[in-house]
Amino acid sequence: MSDWEVYDARYRMREDMVRKFSFSEYISDVQLFTDQGDKIIAYGDTGFTLTFKDNFREILLSEIEAKNGAPVWKAVDFRDELHQVSRVYPENTPEKSYGIIIGRTIKELYEGRKLGSILIRINENLFSDVYRNIDLGEGTEIFIVNSEGIVVSTRNNSINFNEKYPEEQLIQRIKANPDSENESF
């Protein structure tokens, strides 16, 4: 593709993403990464782009590639993201920056060859707002963990976001019964 064709394709893709996500308060960024390592900002602020600290992005993209098309869910917060403007998320309110990255491999339609990866950053409140006011009774709690047992959504500050849930036995029971519909833990 010529430089102009690449520019035009990026512009049209960004235009489509803006139409799709601009009315959602929960989706902040959509980024594509080509096999050559180029980053394409499909949606989100182009001035203050989603940037990760250290080698978080490389580890995430490697995990996405290893899953070969299956989605990868990762909790992200101030420990993983580089916030270029600290006023947006003051140090004493880390929960304001809680997010979930959903990533997956992008493949060619007919040949199945890997073209790159997509990362979508979602505000964690998309999930916790759904169950925030559900009362299951005293001593019960609702939260979401990923396949590694990392808490990706919680309404309770005593359950640490973006950390491994401490009750390993509970996670093992969930993994042992993936098709169970009527079990309480």
pLDDT of residue 132: 85
Q: Cα 179–143–72 angle (5° rounding)?
A: 65
Beta carbons of 47 and 19 less than 8 angstroms apart: no
Nearest to 161 by CA among 73, 92, 63, 95: 95
pLDDT of residue 140: 85
3-state secondary structure at position 122: strand
pLDDT of residue 50: 85
DSSP assignment of 51-80, as one string?
Answer: -BSTTHHHHHHHHHHHHTTS-EEEEE-TTT
pLDDT of residue 104: 95
pLDDT of residue 96: 63
Model confidence pLDDT, tens digit, residues 22-53: 888 888 899 999 888 888 888 988 778 888 88
* Contacts for 143 with CB less than 8 Å, ≥ 6 apart: 151, 153, 154, 155, 156, 159, 165
pLDDT of residue 94: 55
Tokens of 139: 């001593």
Q: What residues pair up with 122 in beta bridges, in sequence order?
A: 27, 100
pLDDT of residue 137: 87
DSSP state of 153: E
pLDDT of residue 165: 92
pLDDT of residue 102: 94
pLDDT of residue 87: 47
Say what the pTM is: 0.81
Beta carbons of 42 and 54 less than 8 angstroms apart: no
Averaged over successive runs of 10 residues, the pLDDT of the chain (185 residues) comes to 81 86 86 87 84 88 92 89 62 68 92 91 89 87 88 90 90 77 57
Residue ranges of domains in the chain: 3-176
